[in-house]
């Protein structure tokens, strides 16, 4: 049996940077707080926890003082920085540069929209860490949409500046744009509608790459944390091409029946999936096939 790990899968730049920053600090001090899971992969979070990374919630942040706290790649709202100053917390900011750029664009867009009584609309997953950070740039006034039904939240008689969470799909973003434009035309009330394509291309480009990868193998094992929005999206991309696509978060979830009479297995994952975990899965498949 041929087992191939997708060379394009694994951590994106933002996650690599955040983890390297955490590891460097842990080597020096042996302990570091992180505001939320550093990455949406429980196995990688467990690995870092074992060397001293302690995950805390926004509520817990309010009650700690005189320490160091890592801001992960997803970024944070202004409120987090204010609390850090008040509590004498040293923030180690590992926000992804792509996310920081988007935060700045939304903050500027919000200032512009206030002058025209307009709206900031963000295509993303409500409650997601990155979206919370983006929402904070608008004093929590932005409208979050993730489906056609959510468009009803928008007042299409007022100007709209539209953005996307960086890890959303390009196809989904363009679909929502198309529906908004159709509704504006149907209303026959001319308004200013500006769609800003802020999807991270390092993420969105993985869709086409994975379609080909999934088509090239009989069975696809997609490795991802269950909380990863990017993982769920990319898993569905593979499943649409290859019905024998299985999503797992660890090698213990492998099922030996998936590999009977199979000659080619492809292993891939999300931007939050560590390469070492995909390699562990490959080794386990080798063991299953030999037994």
Tell me how far apart the alpha carbons of residues 269 and 5 are, in angstroms, rounded to a whole number.
Answer: 9
Q: Does domain 2-10+205-290 have CATH number 3.40.1010.20?
A: yes
What's the pLDDT score for residue 189?
87
Alpha helices in the chain (DSSP H): 13-29, 42-50, 58-61, 78-86, 97-116, 129-136, 170-187, 201-204, 206-215, 229-241, 275-290
Please state the φ and ψ torsions of residue 167, each to the nearest 5 degrees: -100, 10
> Catalytic pick from 25, 44, 76, 130?
130
Q: Walk along the chain (291 residues) and give the pLDDT tens digit of each residue.
A: 999 999 999 998 999 999 999 999 999 999 999 999 999 899 999 999 999 999 999 999 999 999 999 999 999 999 999 999 999 999 999 999 999 999 999 999 999 999 999 999 999 999 999 999 999 999 999 999 999 999 999 999 999 999 999 988 888 999 999 999 999 999 988 999 999 999 998 778 888 999 999 999 999 999 999 888 789 889 999 999 999 999 999 999 999 999 999 999 999 999 999 999 999 999 999 999 987
Q: For residue 11, what are its two tokens?
A: 């951590």
Q: Is 23 a catalytic residue?
A: no
Closest CA to 89 of 64, 60, 126: 64
Domains 2-10+205-290 and 98-201 share a fold: yes
For residue 202, the model assigns a pLDDT of 79
CATH code of domain 98-201: 3.40.1010.20
> Between helices 13-29 and 97-116, what is the axis angle to 10°?
120
The answer to whether 153 and 179 have CB atoms below 8 angstroms apart is: no
Tokens of residue 40, six digits: 């949406």
Q: Provide the b/e sequence for 253-272 (b: ≥16 CB within 10 Å).
A: ebeeebbeebeebbbbbbbb
CATH topology of domain 13-96: Rossmann fold (3.40.50)
- What local confidence, expressed as pLDDT, does residue 169 receive? 85
Cα(184)–Cα(1) distance, integer angstroms: 54
pLDDT, position 45:
94
pLDDT of the residue at 4: 98
The full set of domain ranges for the chain reads 2-10+205-290, 13-96, 98-201
User: How far apart (Å, rounded) are the C-alpha atoms in residues 275 and 284?
Assistant: 14
């Amino acid at each position: 049996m041929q087992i191939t790990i997708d060379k394009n899968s694994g951590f994106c730049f933002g996650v690599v940077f955040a983890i390297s920053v955490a590891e460097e600090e842990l080597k020096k001090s042996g302990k570091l707080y992180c505001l939320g899971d550093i990455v949406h992969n429980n196995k990688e979070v467990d690995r870092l926890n074992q060397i001293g990374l302690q995950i805390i919630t926004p509520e817990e942040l309010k009650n700690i003082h005189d320490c160091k706290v890592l801001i992960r790649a997803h970024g944070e709202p202004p409120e987090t920085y204010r609390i850090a100053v008040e509590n004498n917390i040293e923030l180690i900011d590992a926000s992804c540069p792509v996310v920081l750029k988007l935060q700045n664009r939304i903050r500027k867009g919000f200032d512009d929209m206030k002058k025209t009584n307009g709206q900031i609309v963000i295509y993303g997953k409500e409650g997601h860490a990155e979206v919370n950070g983006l929402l904070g740039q608008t004093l929590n006034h932005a409208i979050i949409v993730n489906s056609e039904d959510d468009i009803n939240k928008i007042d299409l008689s007022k100007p709209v500046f539209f953005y996307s969470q960086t890890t959303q799909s390009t196809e989904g973003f363009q679909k929502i744009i198309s529906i908004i434009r159709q509704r504006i035309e149907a209303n026959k009330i001319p308004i200013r509608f500006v769609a800003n394509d802020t999807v991270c291309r390092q993420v969105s480009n993985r869709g086409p790459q994975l379609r080909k990868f999934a088509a090239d193998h009989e069975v696809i094992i997609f490795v991802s944390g269950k909380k990863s929005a990017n993982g769920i999206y990319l898993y569905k991309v593979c499943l649409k091409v290859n019905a024998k696509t299985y999503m797992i978060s660890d090698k213990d979830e492998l099922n030996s029946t998936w590999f009977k009479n199979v000659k080619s297995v492809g292993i891939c994952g999300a931007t939050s999936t560590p390469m070492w975990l995909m390699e562990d899965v490959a080794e386990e498949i080798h063991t299953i096939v030999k037994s």
